[in-house]
Structure 1
Amino acid sequence: MTAPLVLDQHLCFKLYSTSLKMTQLYKPLLAELRLTYPQYLVMVVLWEQEGLGIKDLAERLQQDSGSITPLVKRLEAEGYLVRARDPKDERNRVLTLTAAGNALREAAVRVNQAIGSACAISYQELEQMAAGIDKLNQRLSR
């Protein structure tokens, strides 16, 4: 019989604790932009591809649309985006950034620079870690 794994041998704990630290690193930087971390992720996707529907956004963020809708409503209340009916599907809402939402993109670049600096890793190390995490994510999605 083998001894039970200790906490530091659990991959799930390493991912969890790192995720918590990363989120805490983002928190004060995003507070200046009046964004929570989940709202920031929504904005990142919309800066990448504007005009998505809620369903497509949820899929991109690997969430269900019920979790995304409240985030989108708060971002709309902040004046960062507008929800409009999708002409192809009346049940869906298409998301368009406002001028304020687009202007926030510049501030987000500074957030990314601060995060990169705090992580103190090379671009090559970042690519290797990201590739490993992507591989794990894909395997867990099966």
Structure 2
Amino acid sequence: MRIHLTNVFVDDQAKAESFYTGKLGFLVKADVPVGADRWLTVVSPEAPDGTQLLLEPSSHAAVTPFKEALVADGIPAASFAVDDIAAEYERLSALGVRFTQEPTDMGPVVTAILDDTCGNLIQLMQIAYDG
């Protein structure tokens, strides 16, 4: 068994596509019209056949209050691994990405949290140990 797909709920799929590809550097894997929305997934360029991230519309009534509660409590909706968090922080900051937490040493990991502009906080993490 392996993880094939996971999702983040986004307020605007076009805006999310622009952010996740243009800023974060992911690649569009699937873009299929589904009524007024799209089945829109992105993947890491490092693993184009790996886990897909579905940029799912947040149209269900339960989603907005859920997302707002997570953001209010500073809880990320997803976590992405990076090899050099300081370099990613600098690169993304230069692109205008807003961070709610600068790189912070948490012991076994260093984390930073950014705003994806689509209603979510996203955590970046660098494993700080071998193992």
Is the TM value for this pair above 0.5? no
TM-score by length of 1: 0.27
Q: Larger % of strand: which?
A: 2
Q: Larger % of helix: which?
A: 1
TM-score by length of 2: 0.29
Structure number with the bigger relative contact order (C-alpha 8 A, sep ≥ 6) is 2
Question: For the pair shown, which has the larger CA radius of gyration, 1 or 2?
Answer: 1
